[in-house]
């Protein structure tokens, strides 16, 4: 568990890059095998690679998606509902992993 400082999270890629990378990777691994691997990889690379983890306060994190997420969703091959479900589940897993990593769970 990494000691968390909300002020340092403003410059998260300097202070918490390894933790962020690990949280995204752990979330990916949790979903591997539950979803088609090509679909999982596409969502990870085409959408979540450009996402932004944000600390909301009170131990809560959100993952902000890129502004053109609808266009990116169209580029991912697969049934729209399945892709949206995967994206929602993936972001939820990342947020949960961030809470765990920084000692809020």
Write b or e for each residue in 40-68: b if 16 or more Cβ atoms lie within 10 A of its Cβ, otherwise e: bebbbebbbeebebebeeeeebebebeee
Residues 48-79 pLDDT 10s:
999 999 999 999 999 999 998 888 877 787 78
91 is written with which tokens? 């972001």
Q: Is 72 exposed, middle or buried (0-12, 13-18, 19+ CB in 10 A)?
A: buried
Contact 11, 54 (CB under 8 A): no
pTM score? 0.91
Give CA–CA dist 55/29, Å, rounded: 23
| Paired strand residues for 53 | 63
pLDDT value of position 63: 97
More confident residue, 1 or 5: 5
Spell out the domain ranges in the chain.
6-101
């Amino acid at each position: 568990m990494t000691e968390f400082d909300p002020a340092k999270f403003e410059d998260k890629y300097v202070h918490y890059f390894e933790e962020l990378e690990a949280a995204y990777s752990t979330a990916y691994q949790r979903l591997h095998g539950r979803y088609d691997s090509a679909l999982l990889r596409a969502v990870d690379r085409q959408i979540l690679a450009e996402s932004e983890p944000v600390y909301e306060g009170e131990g809560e994190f959100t993952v902000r998606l890129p502004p053109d997420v609808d266009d990116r969703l169209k580029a991912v091959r697969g049934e729209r509902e399945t892709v949206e479900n995967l994206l929602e589940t993936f972001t939820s897993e990342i947020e949960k992993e961030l809470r765990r990593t920084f000692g809020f769970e």
